[in-house]
Amino acid sequence: MASQLIPPFLAIGDQVSVTAIPEAYYAQTGERLFYADERIWVFKHNPFMDFRLPRPDDHELCLVPDARVGPDIHNYLQRYNSTVFGSQTEFLLSGLGLRALNKMNERAVNPR
């Protein structure tokens, strides 16, 4: 079983805002994500992502960059004690129960 990352919007800003999620997910879970939509170009050379078709036992992580989603706001507030979002990426990671990586000292080891 693996997790498929699905950004439902394909605009350039929406795609760019999810580029840090695969590395943070891998660093905190040890699991590589995959994607199956060829229109998503930002993951093409990402070492923490695979491109493949989903299998029946896979599950989906659908990322909705919407600050009006109540449970996601509550998760963020609990984690950061703030209603001011540091970034859309940080907000999406919080909705997944993850935290943003400090790029200076928490880089995940390239799995390839």
**What does the pLDDT look like over 29-69, one tens digit per residue?**
999 999 999 999 999 999 999 999 999 999 998 887 666 77
Residue 110 has what pLDDT?
63
Query: What pLDDT score does 101 carry?
Result: 77
Residue 103 is predicted with a pLDDT of 64
pTM, full prediction: 0.79
- Across 1-112, where does the E strand assignment appear? 3-6, 33-35, 49-51, 59-62
